[in-house]
């Protein structure tokens, strides 16, 4: 089995993807890589390397020397955090992609996964059952970078035969890893606050409907896409993928069915305008037709699993934090400082 590299392995998707890939292909086959110097405890069942996606030559050398043949490039700054650091967001979200695409173009890599997002859509996009091929006029630097990345993936495939595959992830919900600064993070935060304090203040309005997906579905869909025969992959920009769509009020109602004393309030902030530019629901019929995708978790099933598994001890750590902003700002400020120090 050829070696697999997950670059950006300590993020919300990366952590669970590494574990799933190691379970399927073996611990020593899957190399986790991230900015962190020390490997997180959860990923210590296999190889780990500190690797900065922006250090092009270091990434190239490692992939070539270790004979890596498959890369999952997950290093990115997400929507809400990217709006606070637009220059760095563009740099991180694009330069790392070019490094990996060029390695595949030169024959060093056989297959690439690069995640896109529903952020590629904008206020002029049809909001309900957003089709695979439609108007895309994103209003955030994250969305703009993802739209550009989709075009480059398609270009490298058509021009150079690079086997690159992608998914437009909706908001992702998980109890195993923390969110990373996205506009849909409320749908994770709400479970921790429900367990820790029994109440939650949402940064989106009660009726803001967005596409969401339980992380188990997202990881399974990612691996299924990568394992599908190349001739079945008809779209080389990024596939629409749908899970379930709901509003904060609908999510709160499902939580209250299991925890009747839970209370929610609403205080929309700058993320409201981002959410308002995104779809309400997604048409993923192309993914279903091309490689057999089908979501397994609806809202009710997802809420049940989250409420059963959210760590109440971990919730207590965040008892006094009204938003995830504190956490995400610390993480990304630290990451940005590390990058700057290495360059100085």
- How confident is the model over 313-323, as pLDDT tens digits? 454 444 444 34
User: Which residue out of 142, 156, 192, 239 is catalytically annotated?
Assistant: 142
Would you say residue 149 has pLDDT above 90?
yes
Answer yes or no: do 36 and 65 share one domain. yes
Answer yes or no: do 227 and 105 share one domain. yes
User: Please, what is the average pLDDT of the chain?
Assistant: 90
Would you say residue 183 has pLDDT above 60?
yes
Answer yes or no: do 96 and 195 share one domain. no
Q: Residue 11 to residues 31, 40, 112, 244: CA-CA distances in angstroms?
A: 15, 11, 18, 22
Answer yes or no: do 154 and 224 share one domain. yes
Answer yes or no: do 222 and 292 share one domain. no
Between these two residues, 148 and 335, which has the higher pLDDT value?
148
Tally Cβ neighbours within 10 Å of residue 232: 11
Answer yes or no: do 77 and 54 share one domain. yes
pLDDT at position 314: 53
Would you say residue 284 has pLDDT above 70?
yes
Answer yes or no: do 91 and 229 share one domain. yes
Tokens representing 171 are: 């908001």
Has residue 343 been placed in a domain?
no
Answer yes or no: do 152 and 208 share one domain. no
Would you say residue 222 has pLDDT above 70?
yes
Has residue 130 been placed in a domain?
no
Has residue 344 been placed in a domain?
no
pLDDT grade for 77, boundaries at 50, 70 and 90: confident
Tokens representing 113 are: 């996964």
Answer yes or no: do 89 and 220 share one domain. yes
Which residues of 54-131 form beta strands (DSSP E)? 68-73, 111-113, 116-117
Has residue 150 been placed in a domain?
yes
Classify residue 221 as exposed, middle or buried by CB count within 10 Å of its CB (0-12, 13-18, 19+).
buried
Would you say residue 330 has pLDDT above 70?
no
Answer yes or no: do 54 and 109 share one domain. yes
pLDDT at position 320: 41
Has residue 340 been placed in a domain?
no
Supply the range of the domain harboring residue 39: 3-116+135-170+216-233
- How confident is the model over 248-265, as pLDDT tens digits? 999 999 999 999 999 999
Has residue 316 been placed in a domain?
yes
pLDDT grade for 124, boundaries at 50, 70 and 90: very high
By C-alpha distance, which of 272, 279, 270 is closest to 171? 279
Q: Is 142 a catalytic residue?
A: yes
- How confident is the model over 190-206, as pLDDT tens digits? 999 999 999 999 999 99
By C-alpha distance, which of 270, 165, 168, 175 is closest to 227? 165
CATH code where residue 160 lies: 3.40.50.720
pLDDT at position 312: 56
Answer yes or no: do 11 and 154 share one domain. yes
By C-alpha distance, which of 54, 154, 34, 148 is closest to 100? 54
The rounded distance, in Å, linking the Cα atoms of 241 and 172 is 11
The rounded distance, in Å, linking the Cα atoms of 9 and 32 is 5
Q: How many structural domains is the chain composed of?
A: 2
Has residue 292 been placed in a domain?
yes
Please give the DSSP secondary-structure letter assigned to residue 29: G
Would you say residue 336 has pLDDT above 70?
no
Answer yes or no: do 49 and 28 share one domain. yes
By C-alpha distance, which of 142, 24, 30 is closest to 85? 142
CA 137 to centroid of chain Cα atoms:
20
pTM of the model: 0.88
């Amino acid at each position: 089995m050829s070696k697999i590299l997950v670059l950006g392995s300590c993020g919300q998707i990366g952590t669970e993807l590494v574990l799933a890939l190691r379970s399927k292909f073996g611990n020593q086959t899957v190399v986790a890589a991230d900015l962190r110097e020390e490997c997180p405890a959860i990923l210590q069942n296999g190889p780990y390397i500190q690797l900065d996606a922006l250090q092009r030559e270091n990434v190239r050398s490692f992939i070539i020397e270790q004979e890596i043949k498959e890369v999952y490039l997950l290093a990115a700054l997400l929507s809400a955090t990217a709006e606070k650091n637009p220059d760095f967001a563009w740099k991180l979200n694009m330069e790392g992609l070019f490094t990996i695409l060029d390695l595949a173009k030169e024959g060093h890599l056989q297959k690439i996964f690069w995640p896109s997002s529903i952020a590629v859509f904008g206020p002029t996009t049809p909001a309900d059952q957003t089709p695979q091929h439609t108007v895309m006029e994103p209003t955030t630097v994250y969305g703009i970078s993802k739209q550009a990345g989709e075009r480059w993936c398609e270009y490298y495939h058509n021009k150079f035969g690079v086997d690159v595959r992608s998914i437009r992830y909706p908001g992702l919900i998980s109890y195993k890893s923390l969110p990373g600064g996205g506009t849909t993070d409320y749908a994770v935060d709400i479970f921790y606050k429900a367990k820790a304090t029994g109440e939650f203040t949402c940064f989106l309005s009660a009726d803001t409907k967005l596409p969401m997906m339980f992380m188990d579905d997202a990881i399974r869909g990612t691996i299924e896409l990568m394992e599908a025969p190349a001739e079945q992959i008809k779209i080389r920009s990024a596939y629409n993928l749908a899970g379930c769509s709901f509003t904060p009020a609908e999510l709160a109602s499902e939580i209250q069915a299991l925890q009747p004393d839970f209370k929610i309030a609403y205080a929309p902030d700058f993320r409201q305008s981002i959410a308002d530019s995104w779809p309400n629901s997604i048409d993923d019929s192309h993914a279903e037709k091309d490689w057999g995708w089908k979501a397994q978790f609806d809202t009710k099933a997802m809420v049940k699993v989250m409420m059963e598994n959210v760590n109440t001890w971990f919730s207590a750590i965040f008892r006094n934090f009204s938003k995830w902003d504190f956490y995400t700002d610390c993480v990304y400020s630290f990451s940005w400082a590390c990058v700057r120090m290495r360059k100085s």
